[in-house]
């Protein structure tokens, strides 16, 4: 497995269930704004709805940060639709739910469990130029936290806008950052 940092997205087009409609999503749709690509194993499961619901609860904050959230599983757009219609938690999802039944996206991002035919829990933060700036991959029993994904997105945005400063652990917008300097070595 290689390092994905600064890897540019490859061209793709997939179907998606989005706010009651079926649409297509391509690489071009992810350009020009920040994107959070959020892989999960499967619809109609146990941990997945807690994560998608958490993202839905924070979706306005992601939009305020000029980011779109794209959830992705190996299910079809029709299964996403059925899940949204069957489950109150998923019914509140307003971000695109991408369908990747052939595993093309999951393979590109290195999260496809080929034996199971499911994606591992991967989160990829992508800049407006289509380059990956942050990612985490969890085993399928380990759920994620939308607030931490948002915090990481905000840090990535800050670093892009202020290349001469970096964000320390637990940084949030408005807090102090660090200007790297030889004078700081061994003093933090």
Pairing of strands 132-138, 13-18: unpaired
Domain count, the chain: 1
Instruction: Give the pLDDT score at 182.
Output: 80
pTM: 0.95
Distance between CA atoms of 103 and 118, rounded to whole angstroms? 8
Q: Verify whether residue 48 is a known catalytic residue.
A: yes
Q: Look at residue 149 and tell me if it is in a domain.
A: no
Helices (H), ranges, the chain: 27-30, 47-57, 59-64, 77-86, 88-91, 104-108, 146-161
pLDDT over 70, % of the chain: 99
In a domain? residue 159: no
> What are the angstrom distances between the C-alpha of 116 and each of 17, 29, 45, 52, 181?
23, 29, 14, 21, 47
- The CATH number of whichever domain residue 97 belongs to comes to 3.40.30.10
* Domain membership flag for residue 7: no
Which residues constitute the domain of residue 106?
A: 13-144
Distance of alpha carbon 143 from alpha carbon 49, whole angstroms: 10
Q: What angle, rounded to 10 degrees, do the helices at 146-161 and 47-57 form?
A: 50
pLDDT score recorded for residue 42? 98
Count the alpha carbons within 13 Å of 85 in the hemisphere toward its beta carbon.
9
Q: Does a structural domain hold residue 6?
A: no
pLDDT at residue 1 in the model: 55
| Tokens 């997945």, located at residue | 48
Strand partners, 29: none
C-alpha closest to that of 4 among 108, 74, 106:
108
CA-to-CA distance for 6 and 8, rounded, in angstroms?
A: 6
Q: How far from 61 is each of 11, 150, 156, CA to CA, in Å?
A: 28, 8, 15
Residue 39 lies inside a defined structural domain of this protein: yes
> Dihedral angle at the C-alpha atoms of 122, 128, 133, 137, nearest 10 degrees?
0
Query: Of the listed 16, 48, 155, 167, which one is catalytic?
Result: 48
Cα(34)–Cα(123) distance, rounded to whole angstroms?
13
Q: Report yes or no on 2 lying in a domain.
A: no
Q: Is residue 3 part of a domain?
A: no
**Residue 51, by phi and psi: left (phi above 0), alpha (psi -120 to 50) or beta?**
alpha
172 within a domain of the structure (yes/no): no
Give every residue of the chain whose pLDDT is below 50, as ranges.
Answer: none
């Amino acid at each position: 497995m290689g390092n994905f940092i600064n890897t540019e997205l490859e061209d793709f087009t997939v179907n998606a269930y989005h706010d009651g409609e079926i649409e297509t999503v391509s690489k071009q749709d992810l350009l020009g704004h920040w994107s959070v690509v959020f892989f999960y194993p499967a619809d109609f499961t146990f941990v997945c709805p807690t994560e998608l619901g958490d993202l839905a609860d924070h979706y306005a904050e992601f939009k305020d940060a000029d980011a779109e959230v794209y959830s992705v599983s190996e299910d079809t757009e029709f299964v996403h639709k059925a899940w949204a219609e069957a489950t109150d938690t998923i019914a509140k999802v307003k971000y695109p739910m991408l369908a990747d039944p052939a595993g093309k996206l999951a393979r590109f991002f290195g999260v496809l469990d080929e034996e199971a035919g499911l994606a591992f829990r991967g989160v990829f933060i992508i800049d407006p130029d289509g380059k990956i700036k942050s990612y985490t991959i969890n085993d399928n029993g380990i759920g994620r936290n939308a607030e931490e994904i948002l915090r990481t997105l905000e840090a990535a945005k800050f670093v892009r806008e202020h290349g001469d400063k970096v964000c320390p652990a637990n940084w949030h917008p408005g807090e102090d950052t660090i200007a790297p300097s030889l004078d700081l070595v061994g003093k933090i």
